[in-house]
Structures are given as C-alpha cells and as structure tokens.
C-alpha cells in the first residue's frame, strides 16, 4: 500500500472523522480522540485494513486534570513513519470500556495491566489478574494518583499448585531454573519428549518503576531509572525516554548528541547479540562457542566503557543531549576495535554455525508462522525471522539513523536458526552503522542548554532495541512525568512463545524460550511487592 504520506494522513483523518473522532496532528504523531463506542471499529480498520502495527496501550488516570480515565492505544504506520495514538476517555465513576482484543489479539496483556493497575474494566473479553500478586486488596489500583508510591498492603504468601494432570507429564520451567536466569514460570505439558501445551505465568518481579518515576523523581533522574529497566539493553530505554520527552517538549537536541546516541545504541546492540549467541550456544551445550563468543564480546564491553565510562548502564543520556563526547582518540580506538571484532566474529561464527548439533537443533525448531507473528505484534528479530519486515531504526527514524544506510535482514523460515541469522547479520550491519556515524559525526555541542518542558504534552517514541521495539509514552507533568509508560519488546514476544513451543521436542524448549532473547525484568516493571509477599525492606545495616 504505497501511498503518498499526506494522502494517507488525510485518509486516517477522514476515518477518524467518520467515527466522530477528533484529530490533531503533531509532526509524526496523529492524536485521535474517539468515543469509546467506535474504538473497536477504528482499531479493526487500522490493524486489519491499513496494517498498522499495534505497539501497546496505556491507561492513564487523568482525574486530577479532567475527571476522566483514559486509554490510549499506540499504533504505528511503519511504511509512512507515523504514530497513531487512539485515545478514549472513560468515565471515572464506573470505568469500563470495550476491549479491542477481538480485532487486535496482541492487546491482551496491556488491557489486563490497565485493569489491574487502574481498575478499568474491559467488556467483551475474558478478564484475569495479570500483574498484581494474589491476595492484593480489591479496589486498590496502584497507578491511580491517590495511591502513594510506597503503599504496601499486608500480603500473606500464597502458593499456586501445578495443575494436576494425570495423563500428561508436566515439566515446570521456572520460576527459578538454570535456563532462565530470571524468575518466570513456564509449565510445559509433555507427552514423552514432545511439548503439547504451555502455560505461562509471569510478572513475578514488578519493580514499580512507572509509579516511582511519576511520584518521586525528576525528569533528569528518570533517565537513570529508565536505563535500569533492563540490564542488557538499558541504553535503548533511556534514549527512548529522553526522545519521548524531547518530542513532547519539542526540544531541538544537538545533532552531535544524536549521533553519539546512535553510536552507543549500536554498541549495545552488538554486545547484546553477542551475548545472545553465547547463551544460545550454551543452551545447546556448545560451551566452547559460548566462552569464545563472550571473549569477543569483552572487546565491545571495554569499548562501551571507554566511550561512556561504564561497561553497562552507561548513564550518559540526559534529556537534551548526552554527557560524554567522543574525541578523535576514542574514535580511532573504536574503529580499531570494530575491525578486530568483525574479523574474529566472522571466523568464529562460521565455525560455530557448522557444529552439527548447533545446526541441527537451531534449524526447524521453534517455528513461528508469519500470521501468528502479525497477530501477536511480535517485535525485533523474532518478527524479522518470521518474515515481518519491521525495524524502527528505518521505519521511525530517530537519533541519527536517518543519516546512515543499512540493510534490515529479514528471513521467512521463522525458526530458531532464522532468529540467530537475523542477529548475526545485524551485528555486521551495526558495525557498519557505527563506522558510518563516526565518519559523518558533526561538530558542535552535545547538550542543549536551558530548556523548559511544558506540562500536559504527549510524546511517544519507539526505539529498536536488540530484542525489538521499546515503546515509551510520556505525558509531561510538573518537574516530572505525569505518566510514563514503558513497553519492552519481550512483552509482545512472550505470548508468541506458546505457538513456538507447541509440538516441539522438550530439549529445544529452553532454546526456543531463549530465542526470543527474553528479558523478563523489562517485561515486568510495575509493582512493589516482593515475591514472598512479605513487606520487608532490605536494610543495609540489619540485613533482611
């Protein structure tokens, strides 16, 4: 559907108008306010007819401002670099709105999250508790503005029984399991060694990040918190947050800062993909490949430290620019490191991919057909391995990506091998992107001096993290965000695991789980209670 951008914008506007909607255009973002009766229809049109990408939905407590709750659904039109924010106001006394799950299946989790955290009821769908722990008091919705961020109800520890199944073997994977490294729970129903069904229970490690940012941090402090959403791709999150706020406040960030952001983003992508390859090799028992992959990765970690001051959680992003410049010396060092890295990586990956067990176990396992990939709105390498051609770096150009040219690897096989190949190709592309950026980087300041952030503005940004698109949505407030919503890519990818795991050998289950490069703690970000339900703080002086 190649259409002139203005033409398609007109089309969206007339679509919204025909449904009693109200449209404002703000650069690349279309804010569409729609009565809740037309919600399903517009979502259906956007998702199924215009093939927009569904990213996430956001519930906001706007009662202190205008007396309503609101739900915002973020769609992106990837071909035309457009963000479409479909917003509907919901009465605050009896908050309820029709669910769009029938037309957009990927909305499942984020609607349930809004229900748990804001108390918005969704009609026409099955509702369940997703985020809050069992035993959480009714009628306490943590993201409502009147609930203090440090509210801690007394919870008693409860246990969930593995569903008693007589005919099938049940293999629990998690919450603590050597293949996962993070608390998450899969229940695999097996017949012999074949997985025939999967149950997933997540959200064990809510950290209350959104609430924290909305209550007791300042704009600039949130950058550092955002960076800690994920231990692997934190910089994407802090960039995404900064870009969203900058977009909302219409700040003109110096070009040089944007270049540096892009460079560091690619450094992070390389290290993350190398890490993933290492983990994948470890999962298929090829430990030598794992060790050597991480040995190579060490070079990029050192590079990251040289460029930012820290191996991980770089801490150089601020709203308005970056904190650390790249001088000539570092530039040379970077280019040198990248050349070495490329050579060693090429050598090693060729060997590793030819190890018979690696080849056999990656190919043809963890299949995700394209239809399902679209249905679940999966992100990143998972999408690209299933033939969905999307990459926010190209589709929603941010930072300095518009000045570079790169290929977006897309495979149609949809198996674990395809996901590995996407990542391998992306490493080479990233190396080339960094080289291009370093070559073109303009002179100038790296930080915007003196700026204001007006209140009540909305900014939304997608940043392509190694695992897929991060979505950050910000409503600006007084000295801090009024609402900050984060959607990590794994949030969309996990539901697709059900399809990928089914009818596969048990032995490949960890590999398939690993193949989406899951990052559970990014997916769960919301709450305040420790898993055992006790309300203890870790006190440094006394211990627990």
Binding region for another protein (CB under 8 A): 169-173, 177-179, 190, 193, 217-218, 220-221, 223-225, 228, 281-289, 291-292, 295, 298, 302, 305-310, 313, 315, 323-324, 347-348, 350-352, 354-358, 360-361, 505-511, 540-541
Least distance from another protein to the Cβ atom of residue 178, Å: 5
Nearest-10 crossing angle of helices 490-501, 108-118: 130
Least distance from another protein to the Cβ atom of residue 103, Å: 37
Measure Cα distances from 331 to 306, 340, 432 in Å: 10, 14, 14
Measure Cα distances from 209 to 354, 501, 528, 544 in Å: 43, 31, 9, 22
Peptide bond into 175 cis (omega under 30): yes
Least distance from another protein to the Cβ atom of residue 403, Å: 25
> In this complex, which beta carbon is closest to another protein, that of residue 376 or of residue 484?
484
> In this complex, which beta carbon is closest to another protein, that of residue 103 or of residue 267?
267
Q: Which pair of tokens denotes residue 365? A: 């396992």
Least distance from another protein to the Cβ atom of residue 532, Å: 21
> In this complex, which beta carbon is closest to another protein, that of residue 67 or of residue 309?
309
Give the 3-state secondary structure of residue 210.
helix
The Cα–Cα gap between 157 and 135 comes to: 8
Measure Cα distances from 147 to 8, 203, 271, 304, 349 in Å: 42, 21, 40, 40, 52
> In this complex, which beta carbon is closest to another protein, that of residue 19 or of residue 170?
170
> In this complex, which beta carbon is closest to another protein, that of residue 218 or of residue 532?
218
Measure Cα distances from 276 to 20, 25, 213, 426, 427 in Å: 47, 40, 30, 12, 11
> In this complex, which beta carbon is closest to another protein, that of residue 124 or of residue 347?
347
> In this complex, which beta carbon is closest to another protein, that of residue 290 or of residue 401?
290
**Which residue is it, tokens 């029938």?**
102
Least distance from another protein to the Cβ atom of residue 448, Å: 15
> In this complex, which beta carbon is closest to another protein, that of residue 95 or of residue 510?
510
**Cα 209 to the chain's mean position, in Å?**
14
Q: Which pair of tokens denotes residue 401? A: 């990506």
Report the b/e string of 59-81 with b at 16+ CB within 10 A: bbbbeeeeeebbbbbbbbbbbbe
End-to-end CA distance of the chain: 59
The Cα–Cα gap between 224 and 67 comes to: 32
The secondary element (H helix, E strand) that includes residue 77 is strand 68-77
Q: What are phi and psi of 389, to 5 degrees?
A: -90, 85
> In this complex, which beta carbon is closest to another protein, that of residue 154 or of residue 540?
540
Least distance from another protein to the Cβ atom of residue 214, Å: 15
Are 107 and 174 spatial neighbours (Cβ–Cβ below 8 Å)? no
Least distance from another protein to the Cβ atom of residue 527, Å: 19
Least distance from another protein to the Cβ atom of residue 323, Å: 7
Least distance from another protein to the Cβ atom of residue 324, Å: 8
């Amino acid at each position: 559907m190649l259409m002139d951008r203005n033409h398609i914008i007109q089309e969206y506007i007339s679509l919204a108008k025909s449904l009693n909607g109200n449209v404002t255009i703000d650069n690349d973002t279309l804010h569409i306010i729609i009565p809740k009766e037309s919600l399903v229809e517009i979502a259906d049109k956007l998702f199924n007819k215009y093939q927009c990408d569904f990213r996430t939905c956001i519930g906001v407590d706007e009662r202190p401002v205008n007396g309503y709750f609101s739900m915002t659904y973020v769609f992106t039109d990837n071909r035309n670099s457009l963000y479409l924010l479909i917003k509907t106001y919901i009465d605050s006394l009896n908050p309820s709105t029709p669910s769009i799950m029938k037309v957009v299946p990927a909305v499942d989790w984020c609607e349930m999250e809004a229900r748990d955290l804001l108390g918005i009821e969704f009609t026409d769908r099955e509702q369940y508790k997703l985020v809050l722990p069992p035993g959480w008091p009714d009628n306490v919705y943590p993201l409502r503005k009147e609930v203090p961020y440090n509210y801690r109800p007394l919870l008693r520890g409860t246990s969930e029984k593995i569903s008693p199944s007589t005919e099938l073997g049940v293999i629990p994977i998690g919450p603590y399991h050597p293949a996962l490294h993070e608390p998450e729970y899969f229940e695999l129903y097996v017949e012999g060694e074949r997985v025939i069904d999967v149950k997933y229970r997540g959200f064990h490690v809510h950290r209350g990040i959104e609430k924290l940012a909305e209550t007791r941090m300042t704009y600039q402090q949130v950058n550092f918190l955002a960076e800690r959403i994920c231990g692997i791709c934190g910089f994407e999150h802090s960039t995404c947050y900064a870009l969203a706020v900058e977009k909302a406040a219409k700040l003109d960030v110096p070009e040089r800062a944007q270049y540096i952001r892009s460079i560091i983003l690619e450094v992070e992508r390389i290290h993350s993909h190398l890490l993933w390859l290492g983990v994948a090799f470890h999962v298929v028992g090829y430990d030598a490949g794992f060790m050597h992959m991480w040995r190579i990765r060490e070079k990029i970690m050192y590079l990251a430290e040289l460029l930012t001051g820290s191996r991980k959680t770089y801490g150089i992003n601020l709203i308005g620019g970056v904190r650390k410049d790249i001088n000539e010396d570092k530039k040379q060092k970077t280019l040198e490191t990248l050349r070495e890295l490329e050579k060693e990586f090429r050598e090693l990956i060729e060997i590793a991919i030819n190890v018979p067990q690696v080849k056999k176990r990656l190919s043809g396992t963890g299949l995700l057909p394209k239809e399902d990939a679209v249905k679940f709105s999966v992100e990143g390498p998972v999408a690209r391995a299933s033939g969905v051609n999307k990459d926010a770096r190209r589709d929603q150009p941010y930072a300095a990506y518009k000045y570079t040219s790169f290929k977006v690897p897309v495979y149609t096989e949809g198996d674990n091998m395809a996901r590995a190949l996407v990542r391998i190709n992306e490493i080479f592309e990233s190396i080339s992107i960094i080289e291009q950026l370093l070559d073109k980087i303009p002179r100038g300041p790296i930080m915007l001096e003196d700026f204001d952030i007006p209140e009540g503005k909305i900014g939304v940004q997608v940043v392509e993290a190694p695992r897929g698109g991060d979505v950050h949505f910000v409503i600006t407030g007084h000295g801090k965000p009024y609402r900050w919503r984060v959607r990590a890519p794994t949030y969309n990818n996990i539901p697709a695991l059900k399809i990928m795991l089914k009818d596969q050998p048990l032995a490949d289950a960890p590999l398939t789980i690993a193949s989406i490069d899951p990052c559970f703690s990014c997916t769960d970000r919301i709450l305040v209670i420790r898993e055992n339900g006790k309300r203890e703080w870790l006190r440094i002086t006394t211990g627990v």
